[in-house]
Chain A
Amino acid sequence: MQLSTKHLLGIKDITTADISLILSTAQQFKEVLQRPVKKVPSLREVTIVNLFYENSTRTRMSFELAEKRLSADTINFTASASSVKKGETLLDTVNNILSMKVDMVVMRHSASGAPHFLAKHIPAAIINAGDGINEHPTQALLDAFSIKEKLQTLEGKKILLVGDIMHSRVALSNIYLLKKMGAELMVAGPPTLIPKYIAEALQVKVEYNLKKALEWCDVANVLRIQLERQNQVLFSSLREYNLAYGVTKKLLDGLKKEILIMHPGPINRGVEIDSDVADGHQSIILQQVENGVAVRMAVLYLLSGSKNS
């Protein structure tokens, strides 16, 4: 079994077989992470650069840990502390890094399509760690892995994405992935934060009433309000947003069944999700973070073969 792709640029371009292979491989890496020695020698002769043009805590640390657990050599690049400030272009920066014999690139960039551009111009394997408002494939994979771990399958499950769908790369990657794996999708949030033609374009249900949406779903993935990507006023205040679309304990207690609560982080407590929900027993937010390392190990491992081809 091999992946059909040399890079992981987005969920849109990979097959269901690829997704299944990544998830089943991640299962084995999760076992590795429970051992006394949480490390395997698989990527011993591979060097990876973590190229972060945008801030990140979880994704960056998760990738770095995954690389170390696979015995790869890693170098870190932060745009704010680099020659990017002196005017160097993306392609020049990457070509200079590659001339130091780097095999794989993990990249986050605020411009949608930046990793796709790189993949056309450089020989290394590229993994998209989030590009603008386009995709965040490893987040979708770890979300799927976490849902599968709890509910055994994705097929036929009802998954709700709540919040800032418009600016969320997590939402787009999740929709692509979960649809491919046979889940039913619904998005909910204020009309200003939901793309107008999303129902037609991506075949998802749209609901503007949070209570109705929560009643429908098995899993609610709560997304952050991406204030940094909004250059106009899309809702009146964070407090009003919380009143209409914040996931509260009271809302959950009023449902007929117990649903799973997820959040890709970072959480804005008291805005899109209340503290007692984020820390409550239905929340698998910290399991998502734990699974992230295993899923990223699987992606890095499966793509590491393309370095010589």
Chain B
Amino acid sequence: MKEILNHKDLQIQIASLANALLKKHPQLDDVVFVGIQQGGVVLADDIVAAIQLLQPDKKVQYGQLDITFYRDDIRKEILAPDTMHLPFSIENKNVVLIDDVLFTGRTIKAALDVLLDYGRPAKVELCVLVDRKEHRQFPIQADFSAIEMATDKSDKVKLIKDSDNNKHVVLMPKG
């Protein structure tokens, strides 16, 4: 297991993503942030907290989305679902989807399917921490990304929380 970002470096990247999002949406009026379970939610918790700190007078709208029931490989392995919590309407809103790693694009495709069952957003943007660009299987790209990484297809890249609640991004090679 190789560490890509330690806790401190991760906080710097999160702050820069929060800044980039605020620069694009300074008013935050019609914007909702949606973290994708599970890694995306770990990241989104911090991004949303950082935005809230920078804009203390605004109410940042934040929800969590679970794609379990929409996976295109659902029959391979039946997984228990995570919590889905969108406590607001996404109708005509600007939705910012947040995930830890953008890899094949299949998770994002499923997340878009989930979103459309909740309403018709005006626009959907994608914010990720790590972009593994060369492995994309769908025409999906990130609007905001912190780092781009060249990886082997069999590698696993994950945002994890350790027992001290410190977060790290790690790369696990196959085997």
What residues of chain A have their CB less than 8 Å away from a CB belonging to chain B? 1-2, 21, 24-25, 28, 31-32, 35-37, 39-42, 45, 301-302, 304-305, 307-308
Subset of 14 A-B contacts with CB under 8 Å: A1-B80, A28-B66, A28-B69, A28-B82, A28-B83, A28-B84, A31-B84, A31-B85, A32-B69, A36-B119, A40-B117, A45-B75, A301-B69, A304-B78
User: What 7 A-B pairs have minimum CB-CB distances, sorted nearest first?
Assistant: A305-B78, A37-B117, A40-B69, A28-B81, A1-B80, A42-B69, A31-B84
B79 within 8 A of A: yes
Chain B stretch 65-106: residues in CB contact (< 8 A) with chain A: 66, 68-70, 74-75, 77-85
**Cβ A308 vs Cβ B75 within 8 A:** yes
Task: Give 12 new A-B contacts, CB below 8 A, not counting A31-B84, A36-B119, A40-B117.
Answer: A1-B79, A21-B80, A31-B85, A32-B84, A36-B117, A40-B69, A41-B69, A41-B70, A42-B69, A42-B74, A305-B75, A307-B75
Number of residues in B with C-beta < 8 Å to the partner? 20
Which residues from chain A contact B116 at a C-beta distance below 8 Å? 37
B155 within 8 A of A: no
B138 within 8 A of A: no
B113 within 8 A of A: yes
Which residues from chain B contact A39 at a C-beta distance below 8 Å? 117
Which residues from chain B contact A37 at a C-beta distance below 8 Å? 116-118
Binary per-residue interface labels of chain B (46-77) against chain A in the complex, 1 for a CB within 8 Å, 0 otherwise: 00000000000000000000101110001101
- How far, in whole Å, are A1 and B79 apart by their CA atoms in the complex? 6
- B72's nearest neighbour on chain A, judged by CB, is A41
- How far, in whole Å, are A37 and B119 apart by their CA atoms in the complex? 8
Q: Distance (Å) between the CB of B31 and the closest chain A CB?
A: 20
Residue of A21, A42, A45, A302 near B70 (CB, 8 A) is: A42
Q: Distance (Å) between the CB of A123 and the closest chain B CB?
A: 16
Q: Distance (Å) between the CB of B153 and the closest chain A CB?
A: 25
- How far, in whole Å, are A25 and B113 apart by their CA atoms in the complex? 20
Given A28-B84, A35-B118, A305 and B77 contact (CB-CB distance below 8 Å):
yes
Which residues from chain A contact B83 at a C-beta distance below 8 Å? 28
- How far, in whole Å, are A24 and B82 apart by their CA atoms in the complex? 9
**Cβ A304 vs Cβ B118 within 8 A:** no
